[in-house]
Amino acid sequence: MIEVLGLTKRYGDMVAVNNLTFEVRPGVVTGFLGPNGAGKSTTMRMILGLDHPTAGQALVDGRRYRTLDQPLRSVGALLESEALHPARSARDNLRVAARSNGIPMSRVDGVIEEVGLAGVAKRRVKSYSLGMRQRLGIATALLGDPAVVLFDEPVNGLDVDGVRWVRHLVRDLAAAGRTVLVSSHLMSEMQQTADHLIVIGRGELIADAPIQDVLARAGARTVRVGTADPDLLQRSLARFRAKVERLEDGVVLVTGVSTADIGAAAREANLTLHELTEVPESLEQAFLHLTSASVEYPASAAEPEGTR
Amino acid sequence: MSSAALAVVAKGIPTATVFRRAVAAEWTRLVTVRSTWWSLLAATVLMLLIGAAAGAGHEGGDPAPIWQAAQIALVPSQFAFLLVVLLAVTSEYSSGGIRSTILWVPRRGVVFAARLLVPVAFIAACAVIVAVATGLVAWGFLGQAAEVVPGDIAVSLGRIAVAIGFGGLLTVGLGLLLRSTPGTLTAIFLLMLALPIALGNTGVSGLTTVSDYLPGRAVVSTLVVDEVELPASTIATVMIAWTAASLFAGGWSLIRRDTT
């Protein structure tokens, strides 16, 4: 269980994280979503005791991380930025970690095996590819068999196999009852793994809900309508003030009107429809809706970041 | 894994155990990077060469104390020893390793204590061992001219340990404060070598007085006994003051500031 309570981080006049409050519960994968620069990494670094909050606090299993005597046994973390000494071998890096937390050395070889680095464990980290470093970072996170896991952008730099491996790992960790927080700026990635979403933009909480709710809440559904007379359709939908977008061959995308209403409107206009399909909204679209709204938040002093 | 096992949160680990583990980790860190061994090798070669040169270059039949040769050899060689400590501290900031260090031992006071103890004690011990070898090499070259007073060895090695220990603590403090290899290297060279010499040579009395209170003068006065113009109590005060200031600043940086 991770509890974030009114967490705030200011750098001078810049507000990186503004009064964030949320909980991360065990047993599910919680996605921590936001565009680059939204404050995800800063929030995670404050949870992990690396950065000092300007206000508020973060508790991991009821305790502040900074007070933990052997943190690796309760919390495993993968940081987005490089955190291991490049001149040391993977195995030596893990040995240092194990020593510092009283973890038996046998576990070092176990975890190296687990992440698939057994063949290269004695090589210095500077010769590793980004994907191998990511695996090593995950190995350090898992070293102490922790009940709480935080992964910051874990699929960065991984190839297709690696991405699939991380997805399974994250789901398995949650299925075993662990608390799992995974950050990403990739909406598609969250859609693949997360059960619950915490969405932030410009340091502020935008959504904290099951992923289905976020999708449903984020905006009106889009309906694909096929008809021989798109002009008539557009006129008959005028009263809904719907967004209508013409595609090729008499196909129209209508946003903000339900299929039932479109059907009724077509019947009144005596219009034949040959297609009426709800387009499932991707998390990407939901996310854009959510974050575009956050731009209007008056309290935010930060520069608008690239929502892409 | 059962949920019961997951619920176990270890509590009440004695601080002594946390510290012991941090020391073990620090030791592993130190000996698993090549830069430690390259710097030590450089320090050893320098010491032995200077000791040999001092022995071979000795003219006349005056008795030459061999342990003083080791002390003099340390004056230029100290920087290679200090490099071990400097890199142990600052390379963590360029590589991001400090993030792991703090993640694994979030009690920063413990990290600070272990980071002071392990690298500094290590180079002090290495310097003492190399100094013994240097004295013996000098003896070999001096032959009949060698003056070997058994009682002097303890005093001599004590001076060497103090000089390196002081330089080591100063380096850790500055490294933690500046968080940069070139920055700390520059600061150490200025305080230990360039400023004491440059200011001392100006002939302006105010500036030469300042140079007396710089760390480099204290170290040279400890090692090259003939040069002592300052009373021992002044040297001790200068060393304690610089150590305290550097550790206070470095400790503040490690404990209070964000971890980059």
Taking residue B193's Cβ as centre, other Cβ atoms within 10 Å add up to 19
Residue position matching structure tokens 């070139």: B182
Distinct helix (H) and strand (E) counts, chain A: 10, 13
Collect all residues of chain B within an 8 Å Cβ-Cβ radius of residue A101: 21, 104
Predicted complex ipTM? 0.89
Residues from A contacting B (CB-CB < 8 Å) are 26, 45, 48-52, 61, 63, 65-74, 77, 79, 81-89, 92-93, 95-97, 99-102, 140, 145, 147, 176-178
Rounded Cα gap, residues A75 and A101, in angstroms: 12
For residue B190, the 8-state DSSP code is: I
φ/ψ of B152, rounded to 5, equals -70, -25
What is the model's pLDDT at position A202? 87
Rounded Cα gap, residues A152 and A157, in angstroms: 12
C-alpha closest to that of A43 among A203, A168, A170, A189: A203
Structure tokens at A259: 């299929």
Instruction: Tell me if B100 and A84 make a contact (CB, 8 A cut-off).
Output: yes
Instruction: Tell me if A88 and B258 make a contact (CB, 8 A cut-off).
Output: no
Q: Taking a C-beta distance cutoff of 8 angstroms, is the pair A170, A29 a contact?
A: yes
B 65-124 residues with CB < 8 A to A: 91-92, 95-97, 99-100, 102-108
C-alpha closest to that of B66 among B167, B145, B166, B160: B145
Residue B86 contacts by C-beta under 8 Å, 6 or more apart in sequence?
A: B171, B175, B181, B184, B185, B188
Nearest chain A residue (CA) to B14: A69
CA of B103 vs chain A CAs: smallest distance (Å) = 7
Collect all residues of chain B within an 8 Å Cβ-Cβ radius of residue A178: 6
Structure tokens at A36: 């680059």
Q: Say if residue B80 is exposed, middle or buried (CB neighbours under 10 Å; 0-12, 13-18, 19+).
A: buried
User: CB contacts < 8 Å between A and B, how many?
Assistant: 117
Q: Which among B9, B21, B99 has CB closest to A100?
A: B21
What is the model's pLDDT at position A293? 58
Q: Taking a C-beta distance cutoff of 8 angstroms, is the pair B192, B168 a contact?
A: no
> Degrees (nearest 5) of the Cα angle A168, A169, A172?
85
Give pLDDT < 70 ranges for chain A: 216-220, 281-286, 288-289, 291-308
Rounded Cα gap, residues B170 and B218, in angstroms: 12
Q: Taking a C-beta distance cutoff of 8 angstroms, is the pair B18, B107 a contact?
A: yes
What is the model's pLDDT at position A283? 64
**From the first residue on, what is the mean pLDDT of each consecutive set of 10 residues in chain B (260 residues)?**
44 89 97 96 97 87 86 96 97 94 96 98 98 95 86 93 98 97 97 92 88 92 77 93 98 93
Going by their DSSP bridges, the two strands A148-152 and A243-246 should be labelled as unpaired
What is the model's pLDDT at position A186? 79
Rounded Cα gap, residues B119 and B36, in angstroms: 10
Please report, to the nearest 10 degrees, the dihedral formed by the alpha carbons of residues B175, B177, B183, B188 taken in order.
-60
pTM of the predicted model, to two decimals?
0.84
Q: Taking a C-beta distance cutoff of 8 angstroms, is the pair A223, A276 a contact?
A: yes
CA B161 to the chain's CA centroid: 9
Rounded Cα gap, residues B54 and B59, in angstroms: 10
What is the model's pLDDT at position A75? 97
- Residue A199's DSSP bridge partners are A33, A207
Instruction: Tell me if B103 and A86 make a contact (CB, 8 A cut-off).
Output: no
